[in-house]
Structure 1
Amino acid sequence: MANIKSLFVTRLYHAQLSEFGTPVDADELEASCYSIAEDDEAGQEWCEKEGYPGYTSYASLTDLPWRFPIFQQIVDSLDQHVAAFAEDLEFDLADRKLVLEDLWINILPEGGTHSSHLHPHSVISGTTYVSMPDGASALKLEDPRSGRLMAAPPRKQNAREELRTFVYVAPKVGDVLLWESWLRHEVPMNMAEDERISVSFNYKWE
């Protein structure tokens, strides 16, 4: 009998943010995101210049946990989630650790997208979800081997999840998703009339 097994697995961590630390007040977090977006003129200008739909604080603010205690509360929980994921990945961190590198807000309006990308120079990346109205985009994850598939035929529509070229994950408010930073991902078009709000982050090894 043939022995068929999976090699070089790609892991995805999916949990409720509230599993670690003090639960975050969802209404306060959403209000904080909007307040920051309204006041962040540098971020607004960057989004307009780069053609970024909606708003992101990625290129303008580096101190959200200092500005709003609720973001420090998020980081306190994320530190524990990332540690749990690193243990699952069986990283040998030696006498070093994974620490937060950056954290930013994303507000995606109806029709907005975030094209396929990865996060160079980081180890773990992820997102926690603040507002996910009906019709809001799922997260699309791409098989990291896609550039090497060459002449391979397409997968069947009902192929096992671990064999698909693309996997879509539909998170709920309060969820946190973590993946290794080399994993290419995107946010397809937001089909909801309301805005899709999330907080994304990177962790580095130091």
Structure 2
Amino acid sequence: MPVRSLFPTIFYEDALGDAALLDELRHACRDIAAADRAGQSWSRAHGYRGYTSYASLNDLPQRDPRIADLVRHLNRHAAAFAAECAFDLAGKRLKLDSLWVNILKPGGIHSGHLHPHSVVSGTLYVDVPPGSGALRLEDPRLPMLMAAPARPDSFVYVEPGAGSIFLWESWLRHEVMPNAAKSERISISFNYRW
């Protein structure tokens, strides 16, 4: 009996491929975190173990030329991912909607979530010490499985490395596993809209 796989969930993995820019981004992330008092306060108030500019800065590509250089790379990856997803964009391109820095201290996590109002989300991993936590992706069918037996692959764990770029559709629930390393993990996350 023939079996077909319907409605696949596409996950994109590639590398930044620019070691000099990656090194510049390490410094950029630390510079941004040191200067962003509002982001430091938000992170403390919301129990974020480390720093994020998620709720404080919305102009990083204009603020820092190193981030602007990154955006040129991300736009190319977002276009490749959109093609893999077979999005009908009616001749338009996806547009970067938001981009933020994350510096996750040892013991830090980011619980399960999704990114509403976006089409594509992703992360560039800037500094990834060993044991600093995988990205855990959740089978999007879980809420509808009701009385179905357990499946061994309801969660997929993807281990990033420095320079890894991951992209997924924004409705895909995901979380950052605990940082068990002895040092901070640095990443830059982003959303694209249509």
TM-score by length of 2: 0.96
Match of 1:160 in 2: none
Q: CA deviation at 1:96?
A: 2.5
Distance in 1, matches of 2:151 and 2:170, equals 25
Name the SS for the 1:97 alignment partner.
Answer: coil
Count of residues in Structure 1 that have an aligned counterpart in Structure 2: 194
Output aligned runs, 1:168-179, within 5 Å: 168-179=157-168
* One-letter amino acid of the structure 2 residue matched with residue 69 of structure 1: P
Match of 1:14 in 2: 13
Which stretch shows the higher mean deviation, 59-68 or 124-133?
59-68
Match of 1:33 in 2: 29
Q: 1:71 aligns with which of 36, 45, 67?
A: 67
User: Aligned Cα RMSD in Å?
Assistant: 1.1
User: Are the equivalent residues in 2 in contact too, given 1:24–1:73 (CA < 8 A)?
Assistant: no
Q: 2:175 aligns with which of 183, 186, 189?
A: 186
Distance in 2, matches of 1:180 and 1:116, equals 15
The sequence identity of aligned pairs, in percent, is: 56
Distance in 2, matches of 1:25 and 1:123, equals 26
Q: CA deviation at 1:95?
A: 3.3
Distance in 1, matches of 2:74 and 2:24, equals 18
* One-letter amino acid of the structure 1 residue matched with residue 14 of structure 2: A
Distance in 2, matches of 1:25 and 1:180, equals 26
Name the SS for the 1:25 alignment partner.
Answer: helix
Q: 2:39 aligns with which of 32, 43, 54?
A: 43
Q: 1:103 aligns with which of 87, 91, 99?
A: 99
Distance in 2, matches of 1:23 and 1:131, equals 12
Q: CA deviation at 1:26?
A: 2.4
Q: Does 1:62 align with 2:19?
A: no
Distance in 2, matches of 1:13 and 1:144, equals 16
Which stretch shows the higher mean deviation, 129-138 or 93-102?
93-102
Distance in 2, matches of 1:59 and 1:96, equals 28
Distance in 2, matches of 1:195 and 1:110, equals 6
Distance in 2, matches of 1:77 and 1:24, equals 13
* One-letter amino acid of the structure 2 residue matched with residue 8 of structure 1: F
Distance in 1, matches of 2:115 and 2:50, equals 20
Q: Which runs of 5+ in 1 are unaligned?
A: 157-163
Name the SS for the 1:154 alignment partner.
Answer: coil
Aligned structure 1 segments of 4 or more residues deviating by more than 3 angstroms: none
User: Are the equivalent residues in 2 in contact too, given 1:140–1:167 (CA < 8 A)?
Assistant: yes
CA 71–24 in structure 1, closer or farther in 2 if over 3 Å, else same:
farther
Match of 1:112 in 2: 108
Distance in 1, matches of 2:123 and 2:15, equals 11
Match of 1:159 in 2: none
